[in-house]
Amino acid sequence: MIASDSSRQRSIKNGSERAEHLAGLIMALARREGMRAGDRLIEQRLADALDLSRAPIRLGLKALEAAGLARGEPHRGFVLAKNPTSGAAQPALAAVRRNEQVYATIAGDVLASRLPADITEAELMRRYGLSRAELQRLLDRIAAEGWIARLPGYGWRFAETISSPEAQAQAKAFRAVIEPAAIAQPGFALPQEVIVRLRERQQRVFEGELERMTIGEIFHSGCEFHEEIIRGAGNPFFLEALKRVNSIRRLFAYRSFADRDGMRRHVREHLRLLDVLETRRYTEAAELMAKHLQRPLVAGLS
Amino acid sequence: MIASDSSRQRSIKNGSERAEHLAGLIMALARREGMRAGDRLIEQRLADALDLSRAPIRLGLKALEAAGLARGEPHRGFVLAKNPTSGAAQPALAAVRRNEQVYATIAGDVLASRLPADITEAELMRRYGLSRAELQRLLDRIAAEGWIARLPGYGWRFAETISSPEAQAQAKAFRAVIEPAAIAQPGFALPQEVIVRLRERQQRVFEGELERMTIGEIFHSGCEFHEEIIRGAGNPFFLEALKRVNSIRRLFAYRSFADRDGMRRHVREHLRLLDVLETRRYTEAAELMAKHLQRPLVAGLS
DNA sequence: GATTGTATATTGTTGCATAAAAGAACAATC
DNA sequence: GATTGTTCTTTTATGCAACAATATACAATC
């Protein structure tokens, strides 16, 4: 439906923060794409991938250079200086946006029911020391993720979804319905190149990268995998529904610990699923997916 | 999850417009609740039902009185003056919000692909003659409904969902998956009072009110029915997903003509479904729902 | 005891000026 | 021929003050 994960982060006062954020986006992209040290970072291509124009990309690249993650020469553009490992991406994001922290804090407070279900903007501004503009942006983002909504009068209301302790189980139950069903849809089809790309990534994760990934990255990768597959149904409602669930699951994910062994098994199942999908045995694939989603994975990723 | 249908409409310059809007909300509520001429309109109760405080309700009531739809006496509050029929609710809404019109226009333009997928706010302001604030509000609403999203840079992108000609069929396919599945969920249960309320409403519609309802109202009533039922699964993700689909289906609904006979049959199926649900034969109910959703209904309501 | 009337405090909106960010076009370079 | 460098235009954000709407508390009335 709509790529919602690249939710924008403006409202930066300190110019360099914005640049570092962009740098982070670029590194994350490079990582996902499996780029290595020495690969060229072509402005237009990055811009297209991130739905931006070259101007902001440029800022990001300069920030990367300043952080020693990229090297640039006049008229020859930039080149990755280091393999974009998890660790490498961090420094660029060292100036973790305050907004990002506040976001996490709010999420935590809601999960722990430290906030009332109904709350005014003014109250939120006071509690978290935000300006109106900052709060606005934050609320927009949260609303887009679906766990808050305006009341008709003053104030906002947090969704039950997230505050409920059973939310995690409910998300699972929901996915267990839509994901296999999507695969079983009449027109389901996954282009070969998508399968190849997905297999590559899962393979990379399986073969060691897992150890170097943060929980957030692992989770993101899992979401991407499942979203790509559900996309095969060609029905955006399935995709959109999954994205929403995932954006809420992400909130829990941060508080779960990493069970690397479970994850490894998990990724193996992903690979197995790809094999079945490749041969177009969709009924079987749907069943496999159903089983995959039933498996209780401690870390809450799938 | 979150009651999103009472999307607020502020930004009114002409004070009375806001009041008339509120009046409309009150009448619509009275209608849904099956109130009759002579029934009291208790401020606090209306306020609770509409998630507002008494102050705005009061404005609405006064507007209703001015429109001759309610009678008020000092210290005795207001009383419905007429049965809240579809026609009666109209005059109060005569000053149909310009925003509402623009909303409809945009929806139409997107459906007809008269707008590019990516577009800037400035462009939208020019095209539809809106102030930034007005547009902002509109975009927020549309974003909440899920058919537009910000790009990371400048501009917004319309969802594929809505512009696709198959969207209608896709929405149907999606519902055909989640609604029966929700009923089949382990913990599914529908409180008796909900069944009673739903039956009452459907009964009312079946016994003639149908003829006097607008397409919009018929559609709304159908959505509410299905949403109440899916709520029985106790899993907000199902409910939320259905709400989203419905908010998009509503866009199509306005352009479909009314097939009163088909609708009558349709409502009969609703009543039948309630009977089965009442006896807790959920497996059977799920099957019934699946069939119900397969039936090709011209008017695109369900 | 519930509901309405009224006054007051709080909350959110609008428009505007300034500043910052992003996009687009084209020349320069590899 | 693709990519980078540079410049210019357009678009959007931000903070602020005046204003409008909503919420709340309590008294008055039924």
> Which nucleotide is closest to the Cα of A126 by its C1'?
C11
Per-residue pLDDT band at A300 (split at 50, 70, 90): very low
Residue A97 pLDDT grade (very low, low, confident, very high; cuts 50, 70, 90): low
Rg for chain A (alpha carbons), in Å? 20
pLDDT score, position B17: 78
Nearest CA in chain A to B186: A173
* Chain B residues touching A234 at Cβ < 8 A: 170
The token duo for A64 is: 């990367």
Distance from CA of B95 to the nearest CA of A (A): 19
Q: Would you state the pLDDT for residue B120?
A: 97
Would you give the distance in Å from CA A282 to the centre of its chain?
Answer: 27
Determine phi and psi for A226, rounding to 5 degrees: -65, -35
Report chain A residues whose CB lies below 8 A from the CB of B52: 151-153
State the average pLDDT over residues A212-217: 79
The tokens for A151 are 């009341």
**Alpha carbons B229 and B29: distance in angstroms, whole number:** 20
Residue B62, C-beta contacts closer than 8 angstroms, at least 6 positions apart: B19, B72
Closest CB to A185: pick one of B173, B178, B185: B173
Residue-level pLDDT at B89: 53
Residue B136 CA, nucleotide D19 C1', distance (Å): 19
Residue A157: which of B2, B7, B52 has the nearest Cβ? B2
Strand extents, DSSP E, chain A: 40-41, 70-73, 77-80, 118-119, 148-150, 156-158
CB A157 within 8 Å of CB A117: yes
The H or E element containing residue B149 is strand B148-150
Strand, helix or coil for residue B134: helix
Asked whether the predicted pLDDT for residue A302 surpasses 50, the reply is: no
Of the candidates B180, B143, B162, which has an alpha carbon nearest to the alpha carbon of residue B253? B162
Distances (CA, A) of B214 to B205, B218, B225: 12, 6, 17
- Give residue B188's pLDDT: 97
On strand D, nucleotides with any atom < 7 Å from a protein CB are 3-7, 10-15, 20-25, 29-30
Which long-range contacts does B285-291 make (Cβ < 8 Å, 24+ apart)?
B285/B183, B286/B180, B286/B181, B286/B183, B286/B184, B287/B180, B289/B179, B289/B180, B289/B183, B289/B229, B290/B176, B290/B179, B290/B180
Return d(Cα A296, Cα A298) in angstroms, integer: 6
Reported as a single tens digit per residue, the pLDDT across A111-170 is 888 999 999 999 999 999 999 999 999 999 999 888 999 999 999 999 987 877 788 899
Whether residue B151 and residue A245 make contact (CB cut-off 8 A), yes or no, is no
Nearest-CB residue to A237 (from B236, B238, B245): B245
Span CA (A99) to C1' (C30), Å: 41
Q: How far apart are CA A75 and CA A61, in angstroms?
A: 14
Residue A66 burial by Cβ neighbours in a 10 Å radius (0-12, 13-18, 19+): middle
Give me chain A's average pLDDT, please.
86
CA distance A84 to chain B (A): 22
Q: What angle do CA B223, A145, A297 make, to 5 degrees?
A: 100
Q: What is the mean pLDDT of residues A95-103?
A: 73
Which chain A residues have a beta carbon less than 8 Å from that of B8? 150-153
Phi, psi of B79 (to 5 degrees): -135, 140
| Residues of B whose CB is below 8 A from A183 | none
Task: Name the residue with higher pLDDT: B202 or A299.
Answer: B202
Long-range contacts of B70-77 (CB under 8 A, 24+ apart): B70/B41, B77/B40, B77/B41, B77/B42, B77/B43
3-state secondary structure of B234: coil
Distance CA B85, CA B82 (A): 8
**Cβ distance of B236 and A2 shorter than 8 Å:** no
Q: For residue A150, what are the β-bridge partners?
A: A156
Tokens of B6: 């009472």
Report the gap between the CA of A138 and the closest CA in chain B (Å): 13
Q: Say yes or no to pLDDT of A13 above 50.
A: no
- Which bases on strand C have an atom closer than 7 Å to a protein beta carbon? 3-7, 10-15, 20-25, 28-30
Q: What is the pTM of this model?
A: 0.86
Contacts of A52 in chain B (CB under 8 A): 151-153
Cβ atoms within 10 A of the Cβ of B45, count?
A: 13
B148/A2 CB distance under 8 A: yes
pLDDT tier at A88, thresholds 50, 70, 90: low
**What's the CA gap between A102 and A138, in Å, rounded?**
9
Helices (H), chain B: 15-32, 43-50, 54-66, 86-92, 98-111, 121-128, 132-145, 160-163, 167-184, 192-204, 210-212, 215-231, 236-253, 260-278, 282-294
Q: Smallest Cα–C1' distance to nucleotide C6: which residue has it?
A: B55
pLDDT averages per 10-residue partition of chain B, 302 residues: 40 62 91 89 97 96 92 94 70 58 90 93 94 91 91 93 82 97 97 93 83 81 95 95 92 74 89 96 97 72 48
Minimum CA–CA partner of A154 in chain B: B52
Q: Which of A32, A21, A47 is nearest to A86 (CA)?
A: A32
Q: What is the dihedral of CA B113, B118, B123, B128, to 10 degrees?
A: 40
What is the average pLDDT across A189-216?
Answer: 87
Contact A149 B2 (CB under 8 A): yes
Quote the pLDDT of residue B13.
40
User: In chain B, which residues have their Cβ closer than 8 Å to the Cβ of A178?
Assistant: 177-178, 241
Which amino acid type is present at position A87? G
pLDDT score recorded for residue A90: 55
- Predicted confidence at residue A93, as pLDDT, reads 53
Q: Mutation test of the interface with chain B: which of A58, A164, A177, choosing the one with the most B Cβ atoms within 10 A?
A: A177
**DSSP three-state, residue B132:** helix
**Residues linked to residue A119 through DSSP beta bridges, in sequence order:** A156
pLDDT at B86: 61
What residues are paired with B77 via a beta bridge?
B73
User: Could you identify the residue written with the tokens 């973790």?
Assistant: A96
| B40 phi and psi angles, rounded to 5 deg | -75, 145
**Beta partners for A71?**
A79
Task: Name the pLDDT band for A227 (thresholds 50, 70, 90).
Answer: very high
pLDDT at A218: 85
